[in-house]
Structure 1
Amino acid sequence: MHARRTGAGRGVRGWFRVKRWCVPDRDRAIYPSLGACVLLLLLLPAVATAQGFTVAGQVVDGVSGSAVGRAAVSLEPAGTGAAEPAADWASAARQLLTGVDGSFRFAGVPAGRYRVRAARRGYVAASFDQHGEYFAAVIAGAGRPEAERLRFVLMPLGSIRGTVLDSTGDPVLAATVTLLGTSRDGSGAIVPVRSASVQRGSDRYTFSNLEPGTYYLAVTGRPWWAESGEEGDSAGNNPLDVAYAPMFFDGAESSSGAQPVVLRAGESAEANFSMHAVPALHVLLRAGGGGSGGDAGGLPALTVPAFDGALGLPMGMFLGQGRQRGGDGSLQVTVAPGTYALSSGGGVGAVTISADSTLDSAATAAGAALQGKVAMADGSALPSGLRLRLLGVSGDRGGVMDGPEAGSDGVGGRLQQTGSNIRYIGRFGRRPLEVAIAGDGSFAADSVPAGRYRLELARPGAGVIAITGAAASGATVGEDMTLRVQGEPVILAVTASAASAQVDGRAADGRGAPVGGALVLLVPANGAATLERVAESNSDGGWAVRDVAPGEYRLVAIRDGWDIAWRRPEALARYLAGATLVVVRGDGLSGVSVVVQGR
């Protein structure tokens, strides 16, 4: 059985045939003219190109380095490159299975940029050199030998499992375990992954098919034998009126003490919980402020705040028997003492509950008035459909959003309460606030909670409009285009620019060799986070970023830089010292070379 030769291989064979035909042979009576030979030699590269190129490589295990056989590999266009892919190539992906040695080969591939994907049971399905939403495109074409020797690494999946027991060693039935992981968007934020329940007849939970990474776990639940509203002893104590406090692994009462579970590729980790019942508190949730709250009836909702407050974990609350009071739609719930996130139509706040309480949906409604105007930097008319977005940010893991000091009740709104047992400790959340912008650029909002916000301009379904400058009275604006609201009325002036330029170039090491899979960052010299652009270098080292606003930038490329929190200035500082300064104008910038830095 003979292997099929394609692309450059057939071009080489053609060269030797032409050479034999053009070189004089005493056994032949007729010789071709010199012009005919030259013409044939000039046409050979075009013939090879028409026959196509090769994309080939090997799929290997990311831990052992051994070959991964029978992996499904696909090849599909990822945009134009040296040539527009043929119509039949642009319409569908090509697929095949790797051999026992993990090898794959796509022949007759038109020149261009391609996305190569691989999947195998027990492994993380991925594109070539994928990191979150970014991947390295494979460039097929003349002089692209790297496309024929791809080393495609698949990482084995792992799992986290464990038990949830009470203080007597019995399983906590219907406990909910929430798995959280580090975001892959470069922010370092902790985000929810999924939840699992302890099933009846078992004391275990399992999270399977997990990618390698850093995870956190939290558990909530309630004792199945708990009773609420039953009469107690002469002192009013009822041993059955109890609740479980939310818990983070390993035994922490809040996310600030949570211990990470570092899951390596292919590993199975164990994380066990032991929950302890405590005397319950009773909270009456009431829709006193109107509006839409935690449910359709306008009631506020209680959740467990986690990390920077962007997360509200399920409570596992026990609903009291007499929860409907006086026909007003109020709801009584049973919780353990602690700090909770309180959300309603007015926003999200945090409360510390240490005694029976009443919470009102008006509790989070107050905030600062905001008004201002948006104008284009070049004096042109403002595009229609713009909206100003305020995205809440916080300082560090476990902290609350910047706002009033603990115990304050005047800046971010007051909590309606039955006693002094509830205190306001700040506001949580990354749920963006959106404000419509009128045709003349003006905008206004009645109530913005105290805190720090990243400013963005949203224009659904249209081109990117970037914020290039901002100034405020009644609040402060940082160099990174974050607005700090303290509770006073805010007047905000925003300058914007159309971000439509493209910047492209090549990432290489110190010797000039191309580096694929590198993190490429275009960081505004003024520190404005909204103008930052990200790309991954392709197999030939090429990269491109789009939707760039005119201005000065620092260009950085980092080998294996995807695991650092590159959206955080403190994590990027040492790389910026070796950055390349570039100036982008409206027509963009092309052919920019950047030397790749190591970790």
Structure 2
Amino acid sequence: RSGADGYFRIDDLDRQATVDLSVSRSGYAATTVRGIEVARGEPLEVTLEPSSTLEGRVVGTDGEGIAGAEVELTRTVTMRMGGNAMMMKSVINATGDADGRFVFEELEPGKVSLAAWAPGYEKSSLNDIEVPRGEDVRGIEIPIEEGAVITGRVLLADSRPAIGARVRPVSETPDMAPVGGARSDGDGRYLLDGLGPGVVGIEARLDDGARTVREVEVRRGINQVDLHFSGGVNVQGRVVDEADAPLAGAWVQLAPAAHPWGGPERVTREDGSFDFEGVATGTYRVRASREGYASAAQAPTIEVGAEGASGVEVVLRRGGVIEGQVEGIADSRYPEVHVRAFIDAGEGSASAGLDHEGRFRLVDLAGGGWTVVARLDAEGRRTTARAQVDPAGPPAQVLMEFGQGLTLEGVVRIAGKPLADAIVNLQGRDVAAMGWSRTDSAGRFRVADLDPGHYDLEVRDWSTGLTHLEVVEVLADRDMEIEIPSVSVTGRIVDAQDREPLAGVRVTLVPAGTNDAETLSLGAYAATTDLDGRFRISHVTDGSWLLRTQRKGYAATSELVTIQGGRDPDPRELAIEATEGVVLDLVLPSGVYPESARVAVLDAAGNSVLAGAYPTSEKGRLRLGGVPAGQWLILVATPATGIAQVQVAAPGPPLAVRLPEATSLEINVPELAGESTLATLTIRDGSGRPFRTLGWLGDPVASWRVASGRARLDSLPPGPWTVQVRTADGRQWSATAVTR
């Protein structure tokens, strides 16, 4: 702890080390100073800024305070790194006083969301509230209307109470990280408050992934809804080797296809058999592994119907080995290096650390081509190598060398001041390379070991949600300055009929000409309208942007905004129309109803109007309330099916959609093997239409990167295809194929 004069001293540190220092004190925002050299000599000075307080009031439609209202503050931290999107949510709660007033103290700067409710009132939210650094936020009002309460019991198939089931309303908007809801008690009873009237799906989910859902008409006041789990069915199968010999002691997991994690686990018997009891109908991936064998590159997918599933067979093949040596860094840094390998086609991966000589060994690998990546995470450095694994042959040998590539360094400033502790991420546009760094207290960053090429550069401040995007060219070692502008896009949104301001409208900016659902859903440039319908989106760069709006019960809209010369554009006033949207009734190829689906709604030009991953209600019903009136092409799929393309008219009756089987297509361009150059893959169906898959967040994807000459598509419906691969230097290859 620091003394009365603010001084502190930390002893017994390695003089050759570089350390990070975290400092916190009540009433001040915590800060971290990174990259401190212990041998620096002079004392370190750390400046703390005051933390913030947020105060407000929950009121009814008459403007009077609602006593004892519950208020929930949510902070969402998101970023993209290496092509992956990440989201974390933290939630804190407060209770209003007799006049509905609430307060949150000790807040860090950044965007937060507020939700308020009270017994008998509908839950209301205000999103994207900016908490300025070192400033308080006061005078917020959250209006809530009289609403509905749903109560009831959750019961198992034998009528015993389902204890601890998570009960929540089915969202009509994409929700990648759901929070809230209620847990059933020891008698299976639950209570959901803060709901509005109308048709709503209510789901209950057990910890093992089993789900049940009912769609009900909710009226103001108290509603009684009981939820019943089905008895479940049996899934039986066996794990064998490539000679059809049973494998005892293999680990098997039955994972719901809608979730990339979790699911019950078993160990196979002496005859290689396994069984799961009480399994809910649905789509599952069967994962299996055993020491000495490679995990299946593509986990088998099964449909579990009313009769269960039997005869499931998982084949494991003997695994191969990759051995390697890492060079180009000091021996003392070997513990910081992480090595990971990825198979060219499928889901296979493996990881290892380094020994004291800088060597590593990756075991139980499937035969075929692998990309090996060694990462020095503390500096965002990485080096890659290729390996060909032959399980019947000797270990594949690779040499990984740091320090062989180019270096991009520079400084990041915002409004002329250094931006400290921000992530600078680089993703190759025409090369299969990436890297990242964190800015120090002076705003400086350094990314090493880059291949020559063009990169998407993203600056992300985790604490505030600030994002800056640009394209950079790295053809030699380079030092650059990144000046994040202070341009703001402002406006007001009203109802198209009565011209009254609309609160709670989600407003996002995405680069024009892109279907960037990650930006749309993760909120890189986003705001929510206040009680006067006004919004502000800050730190926007020059360029052409699409301003998008989304609110339940209203048609999603899109408008072009152009920013030039670092000047704020004129405020916008947008009038949005109420809409009934579109309803889809989804069913899997097996006749089972899916739990969720990824969806994109496209206009005639192929631009995405709505995109996301949506949960379904009873009998696979999916409500897309933001689809405007008109004709639309909808892409829809689940993790285990092919893409369905359907034309719909909004408004209109519910449309039944039977999702197709999924087929796979592996692409191999031998001429690109071992090259760092990225190629682009496009594909057309038998009628010549461009084919699109759906990304993690439902964004339509019409082209794919081909690294080292190989790629794989796993969500094609059966049929004929024309494939084309092109590189930035003008080379191209084409072929035809039929998938079944």
Normalising by the smaller structure, the TM-score range is 0.3 to 0.5
Which one has the bigger strand percentage? Answer: 2
Return the index of the structure with the highest Cα Rg: 1
Higher relative contact order (CA 8 A, sep 6+): 1
